Structure 1
Amino acid sequence: MLNHDDAGITTKTATVSQTSLVTFCSILSISLPIGIFSLLLTIIALLFALITSGMINSSLLSTIFYFLAFIMGIVGIYYALRIKFDKKLFDYLATCNECLINTLIDLDNALMDFHLIKSKPLATRTITERQQGTLKLVKQQIIVLVIQIMLLIGAWVSGLI
C-alpha cells in the first residue's frame, strides 16, 4: 500500500504478518530438494559427457545433449543459490516484523553496499513484490530442471539410435 507524506515522498506500508512470512519461507524450502536433484543430474551429465566424448563409437549428438544438460545444471545451481539467499533474507524479515519498513530500507542499503542491487530504488519494494520476484526464481529453477531432464532423456535416446 502506498502512502504519500507531506513532503511528497512515497512510502510503502508493510501489511504482512509474521505467519505469512514464515509460510512463504516454508514454500521456499521446496527449492532445496530441487537443487539437490539438479546437482545430481549435473554430475551425471558431466560424467556421461566425459565418457561419451572419449568413446570412438559414441554419438556426437548424445555428447552434446550431456554437455547441454551439464550447462543447464550449472544454471539450476545458480537459481538454487539465489533462492537460498532470498530464503535467508525472508527468514530474517520474519523475525523483524514489528519494524518492517525500516528493515526493508536497511536491507536495500545493505544489498547496495555489497553491489547486489544496481542502485537504490525510488521507493522501497514491498514484501509482496519481493515474494513475487523470489517465486519467479523458483519457477525458473523448475523450468531449468525440466529442460535438464529432457536433455538427459534426449541424450539417452540418441545413444540408443
Structure 2
Amino acid sequence: MFNSEDTQLTENTSQTALVTFSSLLIISRQLDIMSLMFTMIGLSFALIASLSASSAMLIVGYVACFLIGLFSKYYALRIAFDKKLFDYLATKFDQLPNTLKELDDTLIQLKLIKSKIQPSRSITDRQMGTLILLKKQIITLVIQTILLSCISIIGIIPLS
C-alpha cells in the first residue's frame, strides 16, 4: 500500500514521462562521441607538437583539451548509468515506490550514494540531478571546442 511519502516520491510522474526523459538522455551519447573525437585530436596534436618542438602554449592547450575531454567522459558515463536506471524505472512503473527504495538500498550498498540519512529523493529530484550532469557535459564540450579551435588557430597563425 502507498503511504504519503511514497505518493510524494511519485506524484506528477507517468511512465511516458520517464520514457521521454530517458530518451532525452540519448543526446549525451552523441556529445560523448564528439568530445571523444576532440580529446583524441588534442592528445594527438599534443604529441605531434611536443615532437616538433612547437610552442609550449600549443602543447599546454592540447593537453588541457585532452584533460577537459576526460571530465566530459566522466559526465557521459554517469549519464549513461542514470539513463539505464530511468529505463529500468520506466519498466517497473507499477511498483515505482518500492523500486525506488530498492534502488537506493542497492546504491548505498555499492557506495554510489551516501547513507540513508538523507530523505528519499523524488523522481523529479533525480531527473534534475541528471540534467545538471548533462549541462556540465555540454559545458565541458563547449569549452573543449573553443579551446581546440583557439589553439588550432594559434598554431596556424603564429602570434610572433
The normalised TM-score by structure 2 is 0.91
Where does the alignment leave 5 or more consecutive residues of structure 1 unmatched? 5-9
Identity rate, percent: 50
- Preserved contact between residue 62 and residue 154 of structure 1 (Cα < 8 Å): no
- Kindly provide the CA deviation profile for residues 16-72 of structure 1, in whole angstroms up to 9, marking residues without a partner as x: 10000000011111100000110111011000001101112x111111110000000
1:34 corresponds in structure 2 to 31
Q: CA deviation at 1:108?
A: 0.4
- Preserved contact between residue 9 and residue 120 of structure 2 (Cα < 8 Å): no
The amino acid across from 1:80 in the alignment is A
Instruction: Give the ranges of 4+ consecutive aligned residues of structure 1 lying more than 2 Å apart after TM superposition.
Output: 10-13
- Preserved contact between residue 35 and residue 141 of structure 2 (Cα < 8 Å): yes
Q: Secondary structure at the match of 2:77?
A: helix
Residue 17 (structure 1) aligned with residue 32 (structure 2): no
Aligned pair count?
153
Q: Which protein has the bigger helix share? A: 2
- Kindly provide the CA deviation profile for residues 113-157 of structure 1, in whole angstroms up to 9, marking residues without a partner as x: 101012114321000000000000000000000000111012112
Tell me the distance in 2 between the aligned counterparts of 1:149 and 1:13. 39
Residue 111 (structure 1) aligned with residue 85 (structure 2): no
Q: What is the Cα-based RMSD across aligned positions, in Å? A: 1.3
2:142 corresponds in structure 1 to 146
**1:101-140 to 2 correspondences below 5 Å:** 101-140=97-136
Please say which of residues 151-160 and 131-140 is displaced more in the overlay.
Answer: 151-160
- Preserved contact between residue 42 and residue 62 of structure 2 (Cα < 8 Å): yes
Where does the alignment leave 5 or more consecutive residues of structure 2 unmatched? none
